[in-house]
A and B are shown apart, each in its own frame.
Chain A
Amino acid sequence: MTEVNRVDGGLIDRTRPMRFRFDGKEMTGYQGDTLASALLANGVRLMGRSFKYHRPRGPLTAGSEEPNALVELREGARKEPNTRATTAELFDGLVAQSQNRWPSLAFDALAINDGLAPLFAAGFYYKTFMWPASFWEKLYEPIIRRAAGLGSLSLKDDPDEYDKGFLHCDVLVIGGGPAGLAAALRAGEAGARVILADEDFVIGGRLNAETYEVGGGAGHAWAAEAAGKLAAMPNVRVMPRTTILGAFDHGVYGALERVSDHLPVPPDGKPRQMLWRIYAQRSILAAGATERPVVFDNNDRPGIMLASAMRAYVNRWGAAPARRVAVFTNNDDGHRTAADLAARGVTVAAVIDTRENAPSGTGYEVISGAYVTDTAGRRGLSSIEVRTPDGGSRRIECGALGVSGGWNPNVHLTCHQRGRPTWDESLHAFVPGGTLPPGMSVAGAASGAFSTHAALRSGAEIAGTVLEGLGRRVPAPDLPEAEDAPVNIAPFWVVEGANRAWVDQQNDVTAKDVRLAHQENFVSVEHLKRYTTLGMATDQGKTSNMAGLAIMAQVAGKNIADVGTTMFRPPYTPTAIGAFAGRSRGKDFRPVRKTPSHKWAEEQGAPFVEVGMWLRAQYFPQPGETQWRQSVDREALAVRNSVGICDVTTLGKVDVQGADAAEFLNRIYANGFAKLAVGKTRYGLMLREDGIAMDDGTAARLAEDHFVVTTTTANAVPVYRHMEFVRQCLYPDMDVQLISTTEAWAQFAVAGPNSRKLLQKIVDPDFDLSNEGFPFMACGEVTVCGGLRARLFRISFSGELAFEIAVPTRYGDALVRRLMQAGEEFGAVPYGTEALGVLRIEKGHAAGSELNGTITAHNLGMGKMVSKKKDSIGSTLSEREGLNTPDALKLVGLKALDAGSPVPAGAHLMTRGSAVDAAHDQGYVTSACYSPNLGCHIGLAFLKSGDERTGERVRLVSPLTGIDHEVEVVSPHFVDPEGGRLRA
């Protein structure tokens, strides 16, 4: 295919041709083209099919507001649906497919929908697919999704990477047109830190699309020079290809930079896109304005586009949509399109101006007081029907029609914090008004200053005000000369009687639909949007909302100002979810935490389980073990029979120091700590303010004014946060200092009857580990392996004689290797979280599954631990009547009646012979395992009045796993209830 509609000039680089394919057809464009401009240059007007009626469509615009020209860009895993051809930068080898058509764009079988249009009026979903309800998900929705829709996903993982970043500035200038450039120049020259962001790949805004002179030269040349000047300033950052997506709280703006979208593949290590969080003291919105179309019958044929887009294609890209065009306008701006196109050798068949007193043109006919009533052309425009002032009708042959209904300032970002725009009677448009996001000012066309001169001046003036507000001295602005045409417009929204006239081309909403919605009492503008889908989807109604409001106003007999607008919400343009995720995906979703013995555990072939962010060894398989239970049973038995070693570094450790450290713990824990002797450890239970159990652990007193508090793995951070809150806010007059030392120490449990013998080989001989020298619950500082400082605690989670030993983390790996080596003679085994769980369930120790946020000390059978001799957090509210009823849940043990029958966690305990429902619920199982020591399944459960029901058989029901059988209620201390072993 040749570039039949390429004309001279433009900002494309004709020395750099680029080949691309659209629907399999190879074509050529140039560096600087967009996909849409290159297609138009190649004579392609038809670029897509519409959402509902599958009508042929071409580009309506030349920018990010595009509703029609959506394509699937790229191939394979990089295929991205719903990409706007009008903003997609052409690169060599680009591949694009049209979407929502079958079998081809030119012949689309579902175009039959267009003929069936009367069935698909506004609200047709709601009226049609009501019955039967069950059909919706399985039948109606899949059919609708197939028939009506946009592009399709590749269903493959996105191979690209996305980054996030953070920027700070004094002034963020949003938009790089004349207003933005003037503002950025003035702020930059005054020495402020400036960021200038523009969504386009060439800075300059409309200056690149117009033929006006600025400062005596071409507007685009002035823009390029200004952008160059800014880029050379060290205090200014110019960011093309960067869309400011939203204005958020505290002067934070979201920005998407399309780092590599103009390249076939991102360079190695570079992201495809980058989401910036910009902290701006002030912002100047210079986002320009969007032209609006006029609504008339069949106004959606390929070739019909905004007049400003038409002259942008010709002026910037040297691409004419057709060789013979017409213009339909209600304002002076439309005439510029005719003049610019005529000057480039395109035949202008006529300018149809709705105003009686339209200006005349040179080289083309102007029809005043006329309007377009209809169009013809199957896959693209071939002619228009014009109603002349005398009531007659004229057919005018043309391949493209530029439409101008006036301009709407891009007020979107001014409304992101619930501000509402105000109606300007002279511009016939909404302009920024009400409360803007704090720190934001608006300049240029976005504020309603439409001429180039007005934009430049307002940019510079606003910048001056903003800089003065920041306490800066501002030099006088040096503004270049530029055109200053007044806005001359007579409002004209919709041709009278138009029905199949498109208001929202992206959602196939017609003038008739809007009227019907009103007739059916959807009179609020927000209801109109939801009922008709007007203003939804990827373009968010940037070209359609105003016409919809105008028709609403007409039928309601109101002013547009009184109809109001719908809410504007971020993001300003569609944004890939990948950009929001950044690097947080797959294995990088969250950071991982590795224990000091991680490397060694990996060498042992241990599988790991995620506990919070920690990776903990689950068990350590031995040769010949084919199933996890074999490993876990072996490990649990080895601990009870000899000795096992487990990395318990993950338990939280908080260093508590200060003269009031003991009193502080007295307040934090429900039980008493003031009298704990130095060199001793005590189990402690922490309550929340409301009396519910928060966490449990131990506190070791290393000195009169020094404790180490341990927490559960999962609650290490919440408990530390709670303690800091208590220290800083509740008891600021206490002398207590806190710091986390969880990561500083590698800590290992050494548990089992041979644990002392094993540790005697590790701990230096100066330290007495005998039962007398280091009794149960002792703690102290020792040295190991010939002098390394260490901490030793005689505490037991397993119920066996046990110790925990801690060394500086860097030596954790060496210590576990040394322990295993020294333990060889005892058959020492490493054990993982599974065996750890088995051992603590056998011993009846509560853990995270029991401390589930609803459980009190009373439920745990620890009610007496809540000391009434002192005040502590949660103590008073734990006395609430409802928490202390006679039939309160109590922690019990459950034992299967035979070796084979399971006791699943999550199962409920039910009254015998009753229905399985909440009314007959007696309690629930919190933890469960197979006990190799008892030879059957066991569990911990909360059972109503459970402490009085030992020996009773209760009914265990798990509808999910089909279990309904009896179990025996026993003491939760299955092993060594007297605690003789741990004191041995």
Chain B
Amino acid sequence: MHDLAPLTPLGAAKPRTDTIGDWTLTEVTDRALASVAARLGREEEAARIVADLLGAEAPAPSRLSGGEIAAFWSGPDQWMIEAPLKTHEALAAQLSARAGGAISVTEQTDAWCRFDLTGPDLPRVLERLCPVDVHRLVGGEAIRTTMEHMGCFLICRTPVHVSILGPRSSAGSLHHALETAMRAAK
């Protein structure tokens, strides 16, 4: 076991939590991520591999599915897989090993920072951040969008819980944008 200590995207030892009004913003660092893309001609096989992993259909465009292990759509025949980091730090290697060459897998765990926003009436905050029709979100959506010039995924887990994945190197800017929107919407 190595002895290097990780830093969170915001540059601290522990994830950060902020509460503004009725909303809580939490930096999430305990999830592993891997991208999965179907090899040419093996699209159906790829979708089956994802479905087997989730115990549910591979998500359709702009959708999220699964539970503890979840996946969201990221492009035609492409998905991002989420799993607990504790048990799946080697998620990409684990997926690759069981794929039989039907998919290309790439580790994405540290490519993203993730902030979870929870609380009532989330569209009031989100409508200040991205052009998504956020008042229509009911849970299960995963939408590629931009927030303050940063390419992000907006993942609606339930109407009172969304995750925002953004570029890890811009975690500070994204966090600032989210906090600012929360204060303005309060």
Contacts and interface: CB of A to CB of B under 8 A. Distances in A.
Nearest to B8: A810
A748 to B, nearest CB: 13
Given A168-B135, A743-B168, A809-B110, A786 B104 contact: no
B2 A808 contact: no
A811 B3 CA distance: 10
Given A811-B4, A815-B4, A655 B40 contact: no
Interface string A304-336: 000000000000000000000000000000000
Interface of A: 161, 163-168, 193, 268-271, 277, 279, 583-584, 588, 590-596, 598-599, 613-614, 649, 655, 657-660, 705-706, 733-737, 739-746, 783-789, 807-815, 818
Interface string B147-159: 0111000000000
Contact of A658 (B39, B112, B181, B184): B39
A186 to B, nearest CB: 21
A737 B110 contact: no
B53 interface: no
B40 A744 contact: no
Contact of B130 (A166, A595, A659, A788): A166
18 contacts: A164-B128, A168-B135, A277-B131, A591-B173, A592-B170, A593-B169, A593-B170, A594-B11, A657-B106, A706-B104, A735-B41, A737-B39, A739-B108, A744-B109, A744-B110, A809-B110, A811-B4, A811-B5
Given A164-B128, A279-B131, A787-B2, A745 B110 contact: yes
Nearest to A657: B104
B39 A659 contact: yes
Given A165-B128, A167-B127, A168-B133, 9 more contacts: A584-B148, A655-B106, A658-B39, A660-B40, A735-B40, A785-B4, A789-B90, A810-B9, A812-B7
A734 B170 contact: no
B176 interface: yes
B107 interface: yes
B7 A599 contact: yes
Contacts of B9: 810
Contacts of B127: 165-167
Contacts of A590: 149
Contacts of A596: 7
B26 interface: no
A660 B40 CA distance: 10
Majority secondary structure, A binding face: mixed
Contacts of A739: 35, 37, 106, 108
A789 B110 CA distance: 13
Q: B6, B106, B108, B171: which has the most chain A beta carbons within 10 Å?
A: B106
B109 to A, nearest CB: 6
A269 B186 contact: yes
A269 B110 contact: no
Q: B2, B11, B78, B167: which has the most chain A beta carbons within 10 Å?
A: B2
Given A591-B150, A737-B39, A809-B168, A786 B109 contact: no
Contacts of A783: 2
Interface residues of B, number: 53
Given A279-B131, A739-B35, A785 B3 contact: yes
B109 A808 contact: yes
Interface string B106-129: 111111100000000000000110
B172 interface: yes
Contacts of B25: none
B183 interface: yes
B180 interface: yes
Nearest to A706: B104
Contacts of B183: 268-270
B11 A271 contact: no
Interface in B1-43: 1-9, 11, 29, 35, 37-41
A371 B177 CA distance: 61
Contacts of B173: 588, 591-592
B3 A786 contact: yes
A814 B109 CA distance: 17
B2 A788 contact: yes
B104 A743 contact: no
B132 interface: yes
Contact of B132 (A166, A593, A789): A166
B83 interface: no
Contacts of A809: 110-111, 168
A743 B131 contact: no
